[in-house]
Chain A
């Protein structure tokens, strides 16, 4: 379905809701195509091609709000969604904190976000690339035991209209590849991982992904046990991105308004190192899910989250509802429909951390005794205002001694305040890597508290 057809559908549903008595109405039509080839044990074991349509209708009647989503675009489904949303408003109490759906604002479309060849990629193409990755990894060493991973191609399109005049649309194509390599020597396994996120299959360098994953895996066999404690640490972009996805909850208006955000207790303070600069920008082509507008059709703009280590009230991201509660305007962070999670609310999906001037080699050279972390795994928040996180290392953890990586170590558990960890940022990588929701350099931090070791 074309983007223009999605727009027509959104406008039609909005008009229908108003005709049926809504004070305000909004409709979002979307299509998400996800084709994914998954491999493990060096063969393809799962392979899917999916097409998902959705129409979300939000209706406001005397501050009573009905929110209905259906997975079809036929006239009876559209009519049913609008009628159901209206019915909800007839029987529900008002939400007195609701101010208004967003007023229309002009936006400039983004160019070059959609590649048709990527969006409709053939399964044989993905299978052949999976085969290539498996071969490259196995060719690295004869003790590479198994290769796993996935290659995804597809597209995401949405159009949103509201009764105040908002009429916006966006479309991207997607290509993602991730490779995990498992090596084994004398009964000891080593794992390595690398991934790439793009909007065009041409940007997916299969050989590079497979080689990097294999190198980490080969170097990780026969790890030694490192005693828990505080160590200098070099965090690869994947590790920074995962920890940051939890820390960044502090910049979300729902957390701020509930009093659980660390920003609320540190307004105007230098929470992070002064070298630490972070923003969210849905128009930055260096990020993956670029879009000129958010899920409510509000234009995306750059929001400074951290400037020179300092956070303040302007660091908070809003959608129209949470902004209205504080008499503010949305910052354009309503989640786009195909990224909608279980809970409603705004989110950060295009974070960019400013690069520094160090290479990873220089960081290692500057480390006396520390740990190189390729990835974090299963990170969770233990304490929200202090942003204490726990989690483990995974897929390549190495000991650095006197400026050199000397040996692989068993996976470690960390439990630490990431306000403190990031405050201890010592060096920032000059190269950024695009992860799913953030574009991030490598960081060297003065200390990270490891609290446990996992068994081999």
Chain B
């Protein structure tokens, strides 16, 4: 049925005269569970299916999408896509060119053991309630709000193109988290596990959620929230900063992931998210970070939230180095943007849309900071004075991705190689290439995948799920304690 509709749409737009077209049939299921203060506040299931038709006509792009899955609607949507493309051609400077790719016929499914949608609701809610109640029990007077969450996503998509591609994929991801908010005299402190904003997510089955062991970490999470109330405020100074992976993931996301998107560098996101300081003249020569810094866009990383078989242009998942020993060597790109720069390797395979109703744009896959040669303990032991920051709380960066400021839920003062004292309201700020240039150590024993399911980009706005493989890293001469 879905393949028939997609074929009808593709044939229609081809007959109208599109020089290139692709059609995606996509069905997305999601489940959100949220337990708060002892009650299930959200038990929500969402299912959306539709087709999206993308076409080039008269040298310009057009796109149309619908959730009405009928033959007449598929034809109408294809016609709209063609008409919209023709309208685009009224305001055109150059024709769209695509870097060549072989047309593939392929299938891909996320490997997993336990289908998160087949595990009973009761089992999932029991796990959440146990974790949430454990956090609440830590200090009933002071932990005013405790909550736990589970989220699962399944996306079936079929990609057909006028070049002959036929790719069938099923991507499954899930995860969750637990958090506790301690309040005393107007001081509000939150701690979360395994990450803030509802937890960590991987392309995996329910076994990943089980491995998080929320209940086993709930007490410590709540205890730290309470401890933060008595902690001193982060000092305003310039010092050595050690960031744990659950903060560094977002640092990589904002200060490397977004600026290496080629559509931003070429100015096509200028009206919303902005452009990039990594302009095309810097490719291959610009010193982005210290020689310790190696960052890749790797859509093949096992369990990464940005792991898939093929992107939404039919390009197979790739591992693309972005920063090599500190030097900016590659962009994340699409077939069109790669052709624009004549990149010999073509698209990096990062084109994705968040629904059948959205036109694919360049998105992060898994932007990974590759492991270094330190153990975390050695790294801390080697630090005479500094601050260790954990778990992202706030984030902000300018429209060219240079000036950033992050805040974390918790932090520790480091003195003479050991964690001496917990501190709160920790923030740090810097300029991207100076910050990464000051990186002198990256650990290798705590490297794992962090999932960010809420990366916003594009107009109309799209929300994509992306991953970050990171560990703990150290940076020198960082300004901290701004707020």
**A: which residues have CB within 8 A of B?**
34-54, 65-72, 84, 88, 91-98, 122-124, 126-128, 130-131, 134, 146, 148-150, 152, 178-180, 182, 191, 193, 258-260, 265, 342, 344, 377-385, 388, 390-392, 394, 411, 413, 415, 451-455
Contact = CB atoms under 8 A, between A and B. Distances in A.
B271 A149 contact: yes
Contacts of A84: 45
A9 to B, nearest CB: 14
Given A37-B87, A50-B358, 18 more contacts: A38-B271, A44-B87, A45-B88, A46-B268, A46-B459, A52-B66, A66-B43, A68-B44, A93-B40, A93-B129, A123-B87, A152-B460, A377-B274, A377-B398, A382-B427, A392-B403, A394-B274, A452-B429
13 contacts: A43-B93, A45-B88, A46-B63, A46-B361, A51-B65, A68-B46, A69-B44, A97-B39, A123-B88, A259-B145, A382-B427, A415-B483, A455-B277
A21 B402 CA distance: 57
B121 A91 contact: yes
A128 B87 CA distance: 8
B356 to A, nearest CB: 9
B118 interface: no
A67 B33 CA distance: 11
A182 B454 CA distance: 29
B398 A48 contact: no
B67 A44 contact: no
A378 to B, nearest CB: 5
A98 B266 CA distance: 51
A343 to B, nearest CB: 8
B269 A40 contact: yes
Contact of A379 (B32, B88, B94, B396): B396
Contact of A384 (B32, B87, B188): B188
Contact of A49 (B84, B93, B186, B397): B84
Interface in B33-87: 37, 39-50, 60-69, 77, 80-81, 83-85, 87
Nearest to B129: A93
A388 B46 CA distance: 35
Given A38-B459, A382-B483, A146 B270 contact: yes
Given A43-B94, A97-B39, A69 B396 contact: no
Contact of B60 (A47, A260, A453): A47
Nearest to A77: B47
Nearest to B42: A344
A451 B429 contact: yes
B452 to A, nearest CB: 13
B92 interface: yes
Given A38-B459, A127-B88, A382-B407, A51 B483 contact: no
A150 to B, nearest CB: 5
B15 interface: no
Contacts of A46: 61, 63, 268, 359, 361, 459
A454 B44 CA distance: 42
Contacts of B277: 455
B90 interface: yes
Given A34-B460, A67-B43, A45 B61 contact: yes
B267 interface: yes
Contact of A41 (B67, B187, B268): B268
B144 interface: yes
Nearest to A68: B45
Given A68-B45, A93-B125, A390-B483, A124 B90 contact: yes
A451 B267 CA distance: 28
Contact of B397 (A68, A71, A91, A378): A378
A259 B394 contact: no
A391 B358 CA distance: 28
Contacts of B121: 88, 91-92
A300 B274 CA distance: 36
B332 interface: no
A379 B398 CA distance: 10
B431 interface: yes
Contacts of A36: 459-460
B316 to A, nearest CB: 24
B88 A37 contact: yes
Nearest to B463: A342
A258 B67 contact: no
B1 interface: no
A391 B463 CA distance: 21
Contact of A131 (B66, B91, B271, B395): B91
B188 A47 contact: no
B403 A453 contact: yes
B47 A92 contact: no
A191 B272 CA distance: 12
B344 to A, nearest CB: 23
Nearest to B187: A385
B49 A72 contact: yes
B122 interface: yes
A381 B88 contact: no
Given A49-B80, A123-B87, A452 B405 contact: yes
B67 A51 contact: yes
B270 A127 contact: no
B42 A48 contact: no
B91 A50 contact: no
A169 to B, nearest CB: 20
Nearest to B277: A455
B120 interface: yes
A96 B40 CA distance: 9
Interface string B428-455: 0101000000000000000000000010
A382 B427 CA distance: 9
Given A66-B43, A452-B403, A391 B268 contact: no
A391 B429 CA distance: 12
A52 B26 CA distance: 13
Given A146-B270, A259-B145, A259-B188, A411 B403 contact: yes
Nearest to A344: B42
B460 A48 contact: yes
B357 interface: yes
A40 B88 contact: no
B64 A50 contact: yes
B399 to A, nearest CB: 5
B104 interface: no
A322 to B, nearest CB: 10
Given A69-B47, A92-B40, A95-B40, A415 B405 contact: yes
